[in-house]
Amino acid sequence: MAYSSEKLSEEKVFKDPVHRYIHVQDRLIWDLIGTREFQRLRRIKQLGTTYLTFHGAEHSRFNHSLGVYEIVRRISDDVFKGRKEWNDDDRLLALCAALLHDLGHGPFSHSFEKVFNLDHENFTKEIILGDTQVNKVLQRAGEDFPRKVEEIIAKTSKNKLVVSLISSQIDADRMDYLQRDAYFTGVSYGHFDMERILRVMRPREDQVVIKQSGMHAVEDYIMSRYQMYWQVYFHPVTRSAEVILTKILHRAKDLYEANYKFKHEPIHFYSLFKGEMTVNDYIKLDEAIILYYFQMWQEEEDDILRDLACRFLDRNLFKYTEFDPAKEYKKLTQLSELFEKAGIDPEYYLVVDSSSDLPYDFYRPGEEEERLPIHLQLKNGDIRELSRESSIVDAISGKRRTDHKLYYPANVIYDDRNHPQIKRQIRELLELE
C-alpha cells in the first residue's frame, strides 16, 4: 500500500481542551508529529511574551499546530468529502500543510525576526525542503510532496483552494488560534460558532466560500478576531515585555559587535549575531535556550544587558503612556535628551511601540499585503464578497486602527537619588506629576 494512503491500525486520539479530541488516522501524519522538528514546537510558546500579562497563556505552538490540523481534517472529512469541487487527493496535502505551517517559528519570533532580520516563513521552507526528519517523512509520500506542501504554506501553489484553507481571512489557522488563545488566557472574547462555520464552508475552484446562511457566524468570528487583537495580542503590558526582550537581543548584539567579553559565551547566538544562521542551528533554538542565556546574563558586567535580563525574568517591566507620533515628535526628542542627561540610555529605555490592525478587508489588488477576502455563496450559487452583504462587516471593513505607546522604566524615573531635577522634568513631560 502506498505510504500516503496508509492508515494506523488503531486511530490515535489526543485530548485537546479546545477541540476536545484530535484524531489521527494517517500513518504520515502520525510520523510527522513524531519528528524532532515538530516536537521542538513544544518548547516555543504560541503567544511569546503574553504569559507575562495573561498567566494562562503558556501554551505552545505544538498545541496550536495540532489544532489547525484538526480543523482542516474536519473540513476535509466531514464537510468537503464527496463534493465534486473537492479533490480527495488534496486531503493529505492540506493536512500536512496545516500541521506544519508554523514549523519555522523560533522562540519569541516577533522580537528575534526584528532584531536579527530573520523570516520564520523562510525557515519553514528550509525545514520542509532540507535534510530533516520532516522532509524524510514527507518524501515517503512522493518525491515532490515536500515541495507541494511547502508551496501551500508559502501561498505560491496553484492550488488556491487548499491555500485558502490555511491562509485567508477565515482560515483554519485563525480559527484555531482565536479559540485557543481565548481558552488559555481565559478571556471571554474569541468565541464563535466554529462548528457552524465549518458546516457551511464549501469548496470552489479557487477558494473556500461560506454559504450565506452562515454569514452571522462569520460576522461573530470577525468581531472575535477584532477583540482578541486589541484585548490580547496588542495588550500594552505584553508589548512592554516584548520591548524589553527586543532590547536584550539588541544589546547583546551591540556588545558582540563591540567585542565585549561575555562572562558566559553565547555560543548559540553567534550565528544570529553574524547573520549566518543556518537551518540546522535554527532548529536547535528554543525558549529554554534563550531563557538559559537570559539567566546567565543576569550576572553579566554590562549594566544594561544585566538590568534588562533581570527585568524580563523577574517581570519588572516598563510602564507606558499614550503617544501620538505625529504631534509629539518634539517631546520625544526632549525626553531623549533628558534621559541621556540623567544617564539612562534612551536607545534601550525610551521606546515607541506601535500596533496596527485591519479587522477585515475587502480585496485591494496591488496593495502591500493582498488579503484574500471572505466570499459568501448565495442561495442561487452566486458569490459575493462578505462586506457587500453584511452591514456590520461593511461598517468596519478596511478601517485600520493603530495604537502608539511610549515605554520607559518607571522605577528609574521616580528614583530621585540621582539627577532629581532632570527626572522631575522627565516626569512632567510624561505627565506623571
Asked if 12 interacts with a copy of itself (CB under 8 A), we say no
At its nearest, how many Å lie between a copy of itself and the CB of residue 228? 10
Q: Residue 248 is which amino acid?
A: I
Cross-strand pairs, 420: none
Cell of 76: 476535509
**Phi, psi dihedrals of residue 416, rounded to the nearest 5°:** -90, 20
Asked if 325 interacts with a copy of itself (CB under 8 A), we say no
Contact (Cβ atoms closer than 8 angstroms) between residue 339 and residue 345: yes
> Is 361 buried (19+), middle (13-18) or exposed (0-12) by CB count in 10 A?
buried
Closest to a copy of itself by CB, 384 or 399: 399
Asked if 399 interacts with a copy of itself (CB under 8 A), we say yes
Residue of 43, 147, 388, 404 that binds a copy of itself (CB under 8 A): 43
Asked if 199 interacts with a copy of itself (CB under 8 A), we say yes
Cell of 423: 527626572
> Is 281 buried (19+), middle (13-18) or exposed (0-12) by CB count in 10 A?
middle
Q: Which residues of 168-196 are buried (b: 16+ CB within 10 A; e: fewer)?
A: bbbbbbbbbbbbbbbbbbebebbebebee
Q: Residue 137 is which amino acid?
A: V
At its nearest, how many Å lie between a copy of itself and the CB of residue 411? 11
Q: Is the dihedral of CA 414, 420, 426, 431 positive or negative?
A: positive
* Residues 377, 383: Cα–Cα separation, whole Å: 5
What does the per-residue mask of binding to a copy of itself show for 104-133, with x meaning CB under 8 A?
------------------------------
At its nearest, how many Å lie between a copy of itself and the CB of residue 56? 4
Residue of 7, 12, 55, 384 that binds a copy of itself (CB under 8 A): 55
Asked if 42 interacts with a copy of itself (CB under 8 A), we say yes
* Count of beta carbons in the 10 Å neighbourhood of residue 138: 27
Range in contact with a copy of itself (rule: CB under 8 A) among 86-94, 123-131, 168-176, 285-293: 285-293
Size of residue set near a copy of itself by CB under 8 A: 68
Range in contact with a copy of itself (rule: CB under 8 A) among 135-143, 147-155, 389-397, 402-410: 389-397
DSSP string, 222-236: HHHHHHHIIIIIT-H
Query: Of 253, 205, 191, 261, nearest to 86 (Cα)?
Result: 205
At its nearest, how many Å lie between a copy of itself and the CB of residue 203? 17
* Residues 29, 37: Cα–Cα separation, whole Å: 14
Range in contact with a copy of itself (rule: CB under 8 A) among 139-147, 161-169, 187-195, 406-414: 187-195
Residue of 3, 226, 233, 260 that binds a copy of itself (CB under 8 A): 226
Q: Is the dihedral of CA 297, 300, 304, 307 positive or negative?
A: positive
Asked if 16 interacts with a copy of itself (CB under 8 A), we say yes
Rg (CA), the chain: 24
Asked if 174 interacts with a copy of itself (CB under 8 A), we say no
Asked if 355 interacts with a copy of itself (CB under 8 A), we say no
Asked if 223 interacts with a copy of itself (CB under 8 A), we say yes
Asked if 315 interacts with a copy of itself (CB under 8 A), we say yes
Residue of 36, 81, 83, 263 that binds a copy of itself (CB under 8 A): 36
Q: Are strands 207-211 and 201-204 parallel, antiparallel or unpaired?
A: antiparallel
Range in contact with a copy of itself (rule: CB under 8 A) among 82-90, 118-126, 193-201, 369-377: 193-201
At its nearest, how many Å lie between a copy of itself and the CB of residue 111? 17
Closest to a copy of itself by CB, 158 or 284: 284
Q: Which residues bind a copy of itself (CB under 8 A)?
A: 13-18, 20-21, 34-36, 39-40, 42-43, 51-52, 54-56, 58-60, 62-63, 66, 183-189, 191-193, 195-196, 199, 216-217, 219-220, 223, 226-227, 230-231, 284, 286-292, 295, 313-316, 359, 391-392, 395-396, 399, 401
